[in-house]
Each structure stands twice: as structure tokens, then as C-alpha cells.
Structure 1
Amino acid sequence: MTAIPRVTFVLVSYNGREMLTRCLDTLAEHTPGPYEVVVVDSASPDGTGEWLEANLTGATVLRMPENLGFGAGCNLGVQHARTELVCFLNADVEVTPGWLEPLLARLDSTPEAAAAGSVLVFPDGRLQEAGSIIGGDGWSRGLGDGDADLSPLYPRSADYSSAACLLMRRRAFWQTGGFSPEFHIAYFEDTDLQFHLRSLGWQIWVEPASQVRHIRHGSSTTPRAIELSAINHEVFVRRWPEALAKRPPVADVHEHWHRLWWLRDQLAPYRVLLTTDEVPDPTQGQGAQRAWAVIQYWRQAAPEAAVTVLATRGDPAALRATGVEVSIVDDPKAWGRDRAGLYDVIVALSARGFPLAEQLSRTQPQAVRLFDTQTFLHREAERRFSALPDAEARRHCAIEAATWREAERTALSWAELSTVGSQAELDWSARYAPQATLRVAPYPVPVTPAATGLDRRDGLLFYGAFAATTTGNEIAAQRLIEQVLPLLEAPRLRVIGAHAPDSLRAPGVDVIGWVPDPAPYLRTARVLVNPSPAAAGAQTKLLDAMAHGLPFITTPQAAEGLPLGELREHLVAESPAELAELTQRLLDDDAKWTRVQSALLDLAATHFTERHFRAAMAEVLIHCGIAPPATTFATATP
């Protein structure tokens, strides 16, 4: 069956036959078919129209009797389009490999979006424009113009994205009546169109995964471009006086940086800043999964919300791809001054993110202050203290625990509302920070609808991220291998988790390390064993196992706060001998294993689904004066 084209490419030419030919060549080279092409020649005096008519095959060529301009040419081209989508493409644009798919994906995933624009780069690779801001003076500024580093870009809703390369729903285009005939030849007609689309409730998105090369003013001289721009600027200002009256001028934004960020984010229903020491990577555990889920809730609760994560280190690429701005800063004080008064909400992600949040809240006195943590770090350090054999290590651990305890008490007092991961954390907070306003927002896990049965499961699994310094996970894994495993009847043990140390290698132990997706291991192991001295870094793994129908054996510390009920006596033990005994029972007794799996799946569905997490986070939004989303959504993963 022949595929039906989704896109018609509309190009308007005026002279520049060689440049137009190059544009069409790169389009054919880098664009998967099928698609249709309409080229409208605006009475080119150099014979481009005649050449197109004689030589261009597989495309519709239309010739206007006089140069009526870009807008009129595009309107004519769209009249001949039959596809769901149209893509406006300047003749001085060269598309690149993989440029179209991200634009299509954006429109497919965002029904509120009328259009998605590419990032424009200069021929030398520098950034030309990643969407633009429009000031109250009616002038625009391309964001990032001249930047050499494009990595900070992220998908976002924008004021305006250049029609040099803009994919649009055809029905949305005609809903506005098309490009206005009031504009003279070129400039501002695409800005006007997008203002009109926004007035009708549509969104405009910029998608940095799509990048194209653009020769600025390719078909006209720069003086002529300035002249045309000035003429059409007057028309644009006259057409949108009320919308522009609410904005500061754009002319001097680089002298007043807070205006630039306000103009960029002024369309957002809310602006939230989340602070952390390291950009969360959900493959690393140690609270990163919880932080990721919280960030994604803020991101998805309103598609146009402006969500910024501020950190001092880490890899931001995966988070940026989900539409989150990530800033890695050395000087947070200067960063905060540049964005003074911008944010509606500041969220400290655990005690590690609290120092940044406290510092930045001085430049954001209007922001609601929130504190969020899965588990308290001082409690992890206290539990680790008892498992460390070395006196000097215990002394450092005690100092660490005291430092975290004071930081967490201060954070609870600083915040107007604090959210924690379990009832146990809530109880501690209520005792030691009685003035704090608290909510439980349990870490969400997607419950497997049809968990794998016994016939496709075998062996033991340890699942947890490790770090350069000794952590609860490393202590737990060593305890399992050295003290529990020898008491069992030689089952196979697999160890998965980032940065798994070589010291864990032993007979019968398969140290796999980091895996892109733990689900296949959670679906094929018979029992997960984690004799962790603390909940931090372990409990989210227990919940993941629970959601995949994988029974686990663990310690009272790691299971603290989990509503296990009668299951506790079958799954929780302290000594290596007791842990081994419970593990062996699940290895030997098929009927018991099946009962435990069923009970854990029911427990996950009752307490730890995304629905429960979203309900708790909706209360947080309400506390901040923000309307929670009416629809459901899934937590994005990298």
C-alpha cells in the first residue's frame, strides 16, 4: 500500500535559483518520504520562475504575476496543499539529517500545538535562533543568537518561531485566515500569524532536536531587509497593541537580563525552580528517581509551564530532552540576580539541594518555598554508622549524620510545605520539626499488569546504584555476598546497578553493573535480596521490584515506612541467618512465592501507583495557588 503524504513543503522564491536548488537538494537528501512540494515564485526578475517551470519535476510550481511577498506566496502555496501538515521553508535553508522527525513527534504528542519550529543555525554551526521573544516595543530577539554551544537548548513553548522552517497544522493555519495581506513583501507576517494562533488558544513550540542551516537575509541585502522590517514593524504594532502593552521593551534586554528571562517565560502558567547538587539521573538511584519523578510532575502538569533545574554538576542531556531547562552554575548568586523575581515556586530537592534553594530564595521573595525528599539523609548516615567496622569511619559517619540532621531541620523550617516519601519520614518530621507543614507523596512505580510467573524466573538479584565512596548499597551487597549467600543452597546471584565495584565479584556472583533498563532483570529473577542498613537508595528499588511482581527480602531499616502488614514476617529480617532463611523459603516454596507475589502487586497498586503520587502532588500545586491538571499523564523516563 502506498503511504499517504502527511506534509506539504511550501517554498516562496524570489531570485536565488542556485540557493533554492540547494535547499531542494538537501530536502530530498534528508527527508523521508512521501511528501509533496509546492514552490511559489514571486515574479523573480532573474528567470528563476521560468527555470523552475521547465526543470523542477515531482513538485507543483506556481508563478505570481508580481512580487506580492512571502505571506501572499505562502497563502497561495497552502491553497494547493492537500496534506494534514504544511511546512514553510525558506529558500535559504538547508535541512540536516533527522530534522523532520522531531517536529512531527512534537505535533503528534502535543495536540495543543499549532506549529513546531526548528532551531536555526548559521552555516558555521553557531546558533542563530532557538525561537524568539517579542518585547513591548514590537521588536523581536532570537534567543541564543551567536552562541557556539547549543547543548543548553530544550523543547519549549515559545512566543514565536521563524517561518524560515516551521511545521504547522493546515487547519490551524486556515483558522487564522492565513498570513495577513496588510504586511509588505516580508518580515513580521509570521510573527503576526503566531500571535493570532495564540489568541485562538494554540501553542507554538521550538524543538532543538531539529536543526537546520539558515543564511540570514539570503534573498535580499541587509539594508533592504532592515527597510522592509521597519515598514512591517509598524503594521505589527498597530495590530497587537493590547498584547504588547503588557510587555517590557526588548531593545535593552542584554543590559537587564531579568527582562530577557521574563519575556521568554511570560507565557507560562507558572514558573518553578528546582534546586539540587547534581542533575538527577534515575538510573543512579540514591533519591535520583524520586527527584526525577517530582521534576516530571511539574513539567507535565501544564505543557507550557517553565521548569528550571539548577545544579552544580551532572549530565543534563536526558532531562533537557523532556523539556526542562537545566542550568549548571559555578556562581548561583550571580545567576539568581539575573533572574530576580522570575519564579513562582522554589523547590529544594532533598537536603543536598537546600543550600542553593535558600540562597536563591533571597532573589525570589515572591516564590512559594517547598522542600521534597524521599528519605532523610541523616537517617541513612545513622544506620550506616552501625554497619561500619572501622572506628574512624564511624566517627566521620556520626559527624555526617549530625550535619545532615541540622540541614534537614533547617530546610523543614524554611519551607512553607514539605513532601516526603513515606509515613516514617512524616513521623520523624512531625517530631523534630513540629512547625513544618507536611505531606506524604509516595514514590510512583508503574505496576506490571501481568507479572512474570515462576516458570520464567530463577536466581537472586541485587539491584542498586553504587558510588565512589562507600554507600548503603555497597555495604548491603557485600553483606549479601559474604554473609547471606554462603548460607543458601548455591543460587545464582546477579548484581545490577551503576558503578558496581569489582570487589563484589565472587564465585556464583555475576556483576553486571549498569543496565539501560532493569525491567528484564526484575521480570526474570526469583527473589531480590537487599540487606541494606538504610532506606535511602534501597527503598525505591524495593518498590520497583514490588511493581514487577518480584518478591524481596530486606532489613527493617530498608523496609521502614512500607505498609507491608502481615507480609513483614515473611520478607523482613535483621541477621544474616534470618535473611538467608526467608530467602531460602521463597526459593523452595512455589506456593508461598506465588502468594507473596500477588500480595506485593496488590500493595503496589494500592499505595504506590502514579495515580497516588499525582494526587499528592496535586495538593502541592493547590498549596502554591496553581490549578492541578485535570487529565492524567505518565512519568517521563530518559
Structure 2
Amino acid sequence: MLRYPDVRELMQQHGYVDVRLFYEEIGCHRGHSPNRYFDEVWYRQRYPEVRRGLLERRWASGFEHYCMEGHTHLSPHWLFDETAYRQRYLELTDQHLAGRGFCNGYDHYLSYGEAHGFQAGPFCDLRLMRQMAQKYDVWFGPEGLLASWLALPAHIADAAPISWYFDAGWYLETYPQVREAIEAGEYGNALHHYLTNPTPEAFSPSPWFDEDYYRRTSPDILPSLGGDGLRNGYDHFVLFGASEGRSPAEGVDLARYRQSPLVWSDCEGGVFDSPFARFVAEKNGQAVPVAVEEPPLDEEQTRQLFREDATLYLPVLARQKLDFRVRGMAEVSVIMVVHDQIDLTLQALASLRAGYDGAIELILVDSGSRDETAGLEELVEGAIILRHRTNIGYLLGCNEALHHVTAPAVLYLNNDVRLYPDALHHALKRLYRLETTGAVAARLVRTNLYLQEAGSIIWRDGATYGYRRQDDPNIPEASFSRDVDYGSAAFLLVKTGLLRRLGGYDTRYWPAYFEDTDLCVRLQKIGARIVYEPLAMVEHLEFGSSGQSGSHQLIQRHWKVFAQQHQEFLRHQQPQHIRNALLGRERRRPERQRVLLIEDRIPLRGLGSGYVRSNDIVRALVALDYHVTVFPVMRERTPSFLLYRDFPEEVELAFDQDMSTLPAFLEERAGYYDLLWVGRTHNMARLLPLLNEASRFLLHCGSVLDTEVVAAPRALLQQDVTGLMADGTAAKVLTLAEREKELDRLLADELQSAHYCRQIVAVTEHDAGLIRRAGYPNVMVLGHGMELVPTPRPYGERRDILFLGAFHGEASPNYDSMMWFVEEVMPLLKALPDDVCLHIAGYVHPSVDMTPLGRHPRVEILGAVEDLSALFDRYRVFVAPTRFAGGLPFKVHEAAARGLPMVVTELLREEVGWQAEETLLSAPGNDPAGFAAAVERLYDDEVLWQHLRQSALEAVRHDTDLEQFRHRVKQIVTASLN
């Protein structure tokens, strides 16, 4: 009645007393909405099939259509998107909803979701709605926030934002005709106009999105706009572009903005649903500002702050001693020479103790202090304190302390440092990882948060340079472990036996400077390696312990001493120039070669789809003692600090690069790499022009094309299965001769860039044969490498069916296989209990609509899962119903290695080369009944289950042996370099 003021008069004219009866007999035909939760006019406009049905009188209204059938998949209102809601919350499968008494996602939202913080969609933010209610003292009734907001008059509804994706005030000011339309009663408020007007491309929603700019800079989206597709460019941006990092307006670099760890954590933590939403919130003062270009900190101010922080420790430590008592054998002896500055000393010791709980033998040399250092025994318990009345200097103090060392390792530590968490722990791990390691250097960060050094370089003239000094400490170049010339003794961990063999520091460098450089060179002369450990991170107040007075003259004098003493060593060093820092950053052993591996993305294991194998190749190369740089064709979206956990510490991840920066990258590193390894044939095709141009920077560099999969036969098989070409047109039925000819054409197109590489890698012998068929005899095979980790849960305690695979697109084999299994196989699983479900796990790209799968009553969608051991341990049967694919199915090997018996299609069985009924069960990809019968057999037969489990474990052990995998990688590299 409030929405339609003329209804009361019409009811009187027609003699109606019951409002509901009036709606059913008259109102619904006039396009009235029955309640505020359903918008009749919008529903008819949004869904052409509903309009046609109304014209044909199949339904009395859109609402009737929605109640009868539309509720299963259509949206009832412009503020709620059924599909997007269920895509956002993958757990809302039909089974989940039905089990809790909900008929669809909208029912869930209205009855449960809103009250528990579920977001209806991008244009309806519950937190902003609550803020609005508090600010304007608006009472949102028991019917809920969304319904209460819809009942507000326009001047209140438009007074404050309810979404970061729409700015009502700006919209009304920019488009005055909208205010007129609202006042005329055509629209309820500004957002209603924007989401329902008939010319959506004519309006932009906020000052941070320009519809014309977005269309112009993203021409790839144009075919998707209009008709039954996306309403406008903003529709695409909200669904995809905001998370992809596309620029929404001139001057807004969203791709760069989202690289901030603060932005990433806010989005991953659910504070904002996209970097764009956070960006707008920041502009509105409701998010912590992210300084994309931070002004450099004044180092004098940061040095002073460092010292002031140190004074904060004094009152605390006066009440509770630092405990360095050793119980049993000491694990490491820490030598610290101090002269006054008790505050710095205690700050350093407190960070040392807090970051390492092992047995530390602390040896303090008091070199003539005149301050409270004389009372150290009252502040530090268990330390060996060596006293001197005069300042004997750093070098002599360290050499004296060495006589008191009992631990197998010595840490030289300045008192002007703060250790980051676990710095000593990581340094010790690195020291003992290889017998040849003699010392470990830390990542030193100055008080202004710029690098002091990420390992140090000794130039040919004896001068030194802290690698990447004055750079961000987290750049790729500073974030991987490598052999270096030396490391500063602000934090230098050395094996005790080697120190004693060399007699400690050379007294020619008394009182200080170049003594640590000389020590590292002498260590190398006796065959010990100096290794940089980036996880040992230390903040250092440069010259804090010695002061700068007289330092320059002393450095100059000892530089000459050092250069004279080590002439033979220096002859093999790089000449002093910043452009030689790349070559000088690592002490190159003659046998150690450098590999540049290029992939679509940084190959994280959770991405599936061949990335696991690429990750294993990187690990194998590192295990074989190659230096590896991983270069992504597409700029990485995952924050850099989360990338490293998937790789060995020795790998350099060029996460700040992409295809556009590759030419400059290769030029800067001209002659640096021995081998170029390109993952995936499509990357070779797109990079070929760049590589041809940059070939002068890759002199004497071998090259590998790792095809990962030969896609030509998969494309033909996909046409057979789906009846469609890649462009969506109907596929022609081919004769055998035509098929062979088409295969040759597809192979030639796919591999046309393979001529660039000395060696081509196939994942199976079958793929290798196809590559040879295309005219390339230089092909080798590299399958999977895998460790067996069978899950322990017995058969009787397991239940349900598992599929694990990545969903990067809706045209992918995994998506097709799940649609086929859910639609055609699951209805035939009649012999299994009704509560047996299929659980789908794995990475899901934001563009993939999983709701068609989630609508089945016996399907649960888990999304990406971190703990695969716990995942595989729950289920009784694994299924891989792939109907078109190529290469080698990783999912089959993985399930076998986890001890989970499986049912697969004949296609996958042939690809993996295992025997049906012996290691797995199989059925043709066009036989849903056969596949269902196999699943039922395996699910119910414990004897069969145990037999297949053991046989598959033996098969995968034979096929994916890690040592054989590494050996094969070594053969490929050798062949590519010869």
C-alpha cells in the first residue's frame, strides 16, 4: 500500500477488502510487486524468458514464475544476486541449504545470513547499513536491514553509502536528471536508478569508476556486454575486474594498490571483498591509508628513535633479569663487545633471548665502559663477563672471548642491533645444512627500514658493497639464500672449529674495520662457504657501537691492508661498478649453473593445473644445485610474503615482473643465465618475439620448452565430447582421414614456436610421439615426482566421494568432468546410501560459476584446502571423471600416493598406463552407468578397496620416484646445454 498509493482507491472502486486477493486478481497483472523483497518490474526486465512467458499467459506475474521455478536459479531483486551469493559462499550447496530448511540462497540470506554477517552482494554492505542507521538515527525494523532500507524515503536512503561500489551523493550531483526521475516516482532512490535504468552504459556509479574509460581500456569485455550478458562495463568490473586489478578510472592503479600486504590482508580477512572496495573506503577515511609511494624516512630521526626505544628496556630489565644460564651443552656462543651504551646492549640481548629459546653461552666483553655496564651482572644472569679497564677495541675483545667458547658455533653480534623473530634459529639451520658451510650472514636492515646489505660483495680493488643497499628489504633479490663474499659481523655466525683454526680475527685490523671481510676471505681460502640467509633478519644502527668519529680514516687504512694481503683472491673478483653487482652478489662455483624458469604465474602448488609439476621442477633444480630464478608471465596477485612458503629458500622469485618487463630484465642480466626453461607452449608462442629480440642477452644460454601438455588431441576430444568448437560453434563430424589431417594442423600451430628451444619436454611418451610427429626429434619425457604419504584412516571409518582439482575456467576439463558426473552419474548411484555425498575440493577462479554443481542435493563444494592429508583421510572413494584431457593426470597420481582408491575414465587410465581392476577402476567417459556401477562397487567392497589401495601405492611409487624425477631433470638440462 505504501509502494502503490492508488491501490486503496482501486480496491474501493472494485469492491475489494482483502489486499492479497486484490493483488492476485488485479495488482499482479499491473506489474505490482507483492512485497519489498521482490521487484516485479525489474524481474521482468532482467529475464526475457519471463517476459515471453507472461505474454503467452503461462504465468500471471513474474512473482508467480519466481515462486514456481525461478527461485532455484534467478534473482528476485536488484539488490540480491542469487548466483553471486552462492558463488561467494561455496558451502551453500543445495544439500547444505535443504538440510537446514532453506529453499534457496535468498531464503538463507533473509532468514539466517543477514543476521550472521553474510553479504547480500556488492551493493549491500551490512556494516555500512548499520553505520547509516546509527548516524541518521534510522530504525531498522525486525524484518532486517535490507528490507528496512528499501522502505526508506529517497532523501534518507541516498544520504549515506550502503556500498563501496556506489556513491549516491556523487551520482545525484553528476546526473541531475536522476533526482528528477526519483521525485517523479519513477525510482525509489539513486541506487535503484543505477541498477535498473534502461541505459546502464550511460552512467558511472562513483568518481572512482569511469564507464567510458573502462570500456576503452578493456576492449576484451565488449563482446560480453549487452543483451542477455553483462549490463555494462561496471557489471564486469564488479564481478571480475576489481579482483583482477584492472584500472577502473584514469590514474587509479588498482594492480599496484592490491600488492600492498595491508590491502591483501584486509581483503583475504573479509574486511573488504575487493581491493577496489578498500580503495574507495580509504578515500572515504574508513580504511588505513596505504602509501604506494612512501617518502624516505629521515635516517637521523630513525636512529634517534632506535636509541629511544632502547631506553624503554631499562625499567623492565631492572626488575627481571635476562636469563642466559646454560643447562647442559651450549648450542651457540654469542660474543658481544660493549663499550658504554647499556641501553643498546640490553635491547640487543633482549631481542636475542626473545627470539631463541635454546642454550646460548653469552660472552660479554666490557671494553672499558664508564656507565651502568659495570652492573651488568645485576641485569643479565648466566653470562660470562670479561672486564677491561681501558677500551681494548672490538677485535681484541672478540679474540679474547674466543678462548672461552665451548659451543660448536660462534655468533659475532653487535650491541647496536635488534634481531627479528627466529633470526638465530634460521641462521643455525643454514649453518648446519651443508658440511661445507663455514659462516652465515644476515639480512641487515638499517633503522630507516632500507637495506644495509643482503650479503656483501668484495670488488677487485678490495672495496666492499652491501648488495642492494638502500633498497626495500623485501625485494626478490634480497629474499633468497646464496653463497656470498662476506657478511658484516654485526651478525655473523661461524663454526667454532674453523675460527680456532684461523686464530680468530687478524690483529692487523685492530681495533676494527675489514676484520670481518678478511675473516670471510680466509674462511673461503680453506674451503668454507659464506652463505647469506634472508630469514636471519636484523635491524642495525650503523656505527651505533663505534660512532662515526675517525671511522673513515680507519676504513681507508684497513682497506689498503686488506687489498695488499689478498691480491690473489681479489684478481678473480668483479671490478667495482654497480652494474657488476648482479654478477658479484653470489660466489659462483664453476659447476653451479643458473636457470631462468618462465611460467604463467609463480607456480604455487595450490593452483593445480600443472603448477604443482612446475613447482616440483623448481625444487628438483634446486636439489641438483642449480640457481633458479622464477619469472611469471602474468604479474603475481598473491602478496610476495605468501609466495616463499611454497619454495626452497634458495629460489629467487621475480614476483615484481611480468611479460612487459622481460626485455629490460634480460638486458639487465645479460649473460647471467645458462639455461632458459619456458613452461607451457602458449608461453613460448607469446614470448618468441621478445626472445628473438633479446637473444643477444642470452648468449651461450641453453633453452627448454616444457610443453606440460600437448593440447591438440585434447582439443579434438573436447569437440567430440561437447560437439562444439572453441568459439562455441557446432563442431563438424570428421572422418578418420580428416581427423588425422586436423590433428597435424593443430600440432603444427601449437608447436610452431618450439624451434627456438634446444630441447622439448613432454610429460608422457604419447605426447613425445606427437611432438616428433610435428617434426621435432629433440624431445625428452618428464612425468611427475611424488612422495608417498598414504593416509591412515581405515576403510570402515571413511565415507563420501572426493574430487580434487583446480577450476580455472568453465571450459576446463575439470569443470566439464564435474558437470558430467553430477548431472549424469550421480542420479545413477542408487545402491549407495542417500546421505553419501560428492565433495569437490580445489582452487576456484573467481570467474567460475560453481552454483550449477552446488544445486545438486548430494554435492558439497569445499574450495581450496590447505591440509591435503586431512582431506584425503576422510573419504572412501576418489573420482576423476575426465572426458577430455592431455598429458599426465596429476590428480590420479596424487590420490594414489595418498592411499585413496579411485574410479577414473578410460581416458585417464590410458594416460597413466595402469591396469583396470588392478590399480584402479575405470569406465568410458560416455558411459555414466558404467562409471556409477564402478563407484558403487568400490564404495561397498572393502576387499577390493584394500587391493586397489596397495596396488596403486606400488604403481605410483614406481612411476613417480623423486630420485628418478630429479635424474631426468638433470638429463634434460645437460642435453639443453650441450
State TM-score, norm by structure 2.
Answer: 0.59
Query: Cα RMSD (Å) of the superposition?
Result: 3.0
The Cα offsets for residues 550-600 of structure 1, whole Å up to 9 and x where unpaired, read as 222222333443121455894242222222122222223333333222221
1:320/1:223 CA distance change after superposition, 3 Å = farther
Equivalent residue, structure 2, for 1:631: none
Q: Does 1:465 align with 2:786?
A: no
Q: Does 1:301 align with 2:624?
A: yes
Aligned-partner Cα distance in 1 for 2:664–2:381: 57
Equivalent residue, structure 2, for 1:597: 949
After superposing the two structures, state which structure 1 stretch, 128-137 or 285-294, moved more. 128-137
Equivalent residue, structure 2, for 1:364: 698
Equivalent residue, structure 1, for 2:613: 290
Aligned-partner Cα distance in 2 for 1:238–1:18: 39
SS of equivalent to 1:384: helix
Q: Does 1:73 align with 2:397?
A: yes
The code of the aligned residue for 2:801 comes to: L
> What percent of counterpart residues are identical?
26
1:377/1:323 CA distance change after superposition, 3 Å = farther
Aligned-partner Cα distance in 2 for 1:89–1:403: 66
Among residues 261, 266, 269, which one is paired with 2:582 in the alignment? 261
Matches within 5 A, 1:103-118: 103-118=427-442
1:620/1:174 CA distance change after superposition, 3 Å = farther
Aligned-partner Cα distance in 2 for 1:484–1:538: 24
Q: Does 1:313 align with 2:635?
A: yes
SS of equivalent to 2:357: coil
SS of equivalent to 2:818: helix
Aligned-partner Cα distance in 1 for 2:958–2:809: 36
Equivalent residue, structure 2, for 1:504: 853
After superposing the two structures, state which structure 1 stretch, 92-101 or 23-32, moved more. 23-32
Among residues 796, 800, 806, which one is paired with 1:455 in the alignment? 796
The Cα offsets for residues 229-287 of structure 1, whole Å up to 9 and x where unpaired, read as 1111112212222221122222x21xx3xx22111234241111111121101111111
The Cα offsets for residues 462-489 of structure 1, whole Å up to 9 and x where unpaired, read as 1101125532111111111111111113
Number of aligned residues: 616
Residue 308 of structure 1 contacts residue 325 of structure 1 at CA under 8 Å; is this kept in 2? yes
Equivalent residue, structure 1, for 2:936: 584
Residue 381 of structure 1 contacts residue 397 of structure 1 at CA under 8 Å; is this kept in 2? no
The Cα offsets for residues 311-366 of structure 1, whole Å up to 9 and x where unpaired, read as 13224522565321111324111111100011111111122442447615441121
SS of equivalent to 1:201: coil
Aligned-partner Cα distance in 2 for 1:212–1:407: 53
SS of equivalent to 2:607: coil
Aligned-partner Cα distance in 2 for 1:438–1:540: 21
Residue 621 of structure 2 contacts residue 966 of structure 2 at CA under 8 Å; is this kept in 1? no
1:550/1:56 CA distance change after superposition, 3 Å = closer
Matches within 5 A, 1:516-531: 516-531=866-881
1:89/1:492 CA distance change after superposition, 3 Å = same
Residue 519 of structure 1 contacts residue 548 of structure 1 at CA under 8 Å; is this kept in 2? yes
Among residues 336, 341, 348, which one is paired with 1:23 in the alignment? 348
Aligned-partner Cα distance in 1 for 2:482–2:433: 13
SS of equivalent to 1:619: helix
Residue 58 of structure 1 and its aligned partner are, at CA, apart by 2.8
Equivalent residue, structure 1, for 2:481: 155
SS of equivalent to 1:331: helix
Matches within 5 A, 1:333-412: 333-354=663-684, 355-356=686-687, 359=691, 361-388=695-722, 393-395=727-729, 405=747, 408-412=750-754
Residue 484 of structure 2 contacts residue 587 of structure 2 at CA under 8 Å; is this kept in 1? no
The Cα offsets for residues 405-441 of structure 1, whole Å up to 9 and x where unpaired, read as 556423432221222221121111121133x312212
Equivalent residue, structure 1, for 2:765: 423
Larger relative contact order (C-alpha < 8 A, sep ≥ 6)? 1
1:214/1:584 CA distance change after superposition, 3 Å = same
Structure 2 regions of 5+ residues with no counterpart?
1-325, 733-742
SS of equivalent to 1:541: helix
Of Structure 1 and Structure 2, which has the larger fraction of its residues in helix?
Answer: 2
SS of equivalent to 1:446: coil
Aligned-partner Cα distance in 2 for 1:547–1:59: 51
SS of equivalent to 2:628: strand
Aligned-partner Cα distance in 2 for 1:572–1:322: 44
Among residues 840, 846, 850, which one is paired with 1:495 in the alignment? 840
The code of the aligned residue for 1:75 comes to: N
The Cα offsets for residues 440-474 of structure 1, whole Å up to 9 and x where unpaired, read as 12201112468654233332111101125532111
Residue 291 of structure 1 contacts residue 349 of structure 1 at CA under 8 Å; is this kept in 2? yes
Of Structure 1 and Structure 2, which has the larger fraction of its residues in strand?
Answer: 1
SS of equivalent to 1:582: helix
Aligned-partner Cα distance in 2 for 1:408–1:173: 59
1:478/1:119 CA distance change after superposition, 3 Å = same
SS of equivalent to 1:410: coil
SS of equivalent to 1:571: strand
Q: Does 1:93 align with 2:417?
A: yes
1:578/1:218 CA distance change after superposition, 3 Å = same
Residue 446 of structure 1 contacts residue 547 of structure 1 at CA under 8 Å; is this kept in 2? yes
1:566/1:536 CA distance change after superposition, 3 Å = closer
Aligned-partner Cα distance in 1 for 2:714–2:599: 18
Equivalent residue, structure 2, for 1:199: 525
After superposing the two structures, state which structure 1 stretch, 349-358 or 501-510, moved more. 349-358
Aligned-partner Cα distance in 1 for 2:556–2:915: 73
The code of the aligned residue for 1:241 comes to: Q
Q: Does 1:32 align with 2:357?
A: yes
Equivalent residue, structure 2, for 1:272: 595
Residue 341 of structure 2 contacts residue 373 of structure 2 at CA under 8 Å; is this kept in 1? no
Residue 482 of structure 2 contacts residue 586 of structure 2 at CA under 8 Å; is this kept in 1? no
Q: Does 1:168 align with 2:484?
A: no
The runs of at least 4 consecutive aligned structure 1 residues that moved more than 6 Å come to 401-404
Residue 521 of structure 1 and its aligned partner are, at CA, apart by 2.7
Residue 287 of structure 1 contacts residue 537 of structure 1 at CA under 8 Å; is this kept in 2? no
1:215/1:479 CA distance change after superposition, 3 Å = same
SS of equivalent to 1:38: strand
Among residues 408, 414, 419, which one is paired with 2:756 in the alignment? 414
Among residues 325, 332, 350, which one is paired with 1:7 in the alignment? 332
Equivalent residue, structure 1, for 2:122: none
Aligned-partner Cα distance in 2 for 1:388–1:80: 77
1:426/1:3 CA distance change after superposition, 3 Å = farther
1:537/1:420 CA distance change after superposition, 3 Å = closer
Residue 393 of structure 1 and its aligned partner are, at CA, apart by 4.1
SS of equivalent to 1:222: coil
After superposing the two structures, state which structure 1 stretch, 132-141 or 552-561, moved more. 552-561
SS of equivalent to 2:605: coil
Q: Does 1:323 align with 2:646?
A: no
After superposing the two structures, state which structure 1 stretch, 464-473 or 267-276, moved more. 464-473
The code of the aligned residue for 1:324 comes to: V
The code of the aligned residue for 2:865 comes to: V
Residue 527 of structure 1 contacts residue 551 of structure 1 at CA under 8 Å; is this kept in 2? yes
SS of equivalent to 2:400: helix
SS of equivalent to 1:167: strand
Residue 487 of structure 2 contacts residue 532 of structure 2 at CA under 8 Å; is this kept in 1? yes
Residue 464 of structure 1 contacts residue 496 of structure 1 at CA under 8 Å; is this kept in 2? yes
Residue 88 of structure 1 contacts residue 164 of structure 1 at CA under 8 Å; is this kept in 2? yes
1:373/1:572 CA distance change after superposition, 3 Å = farther
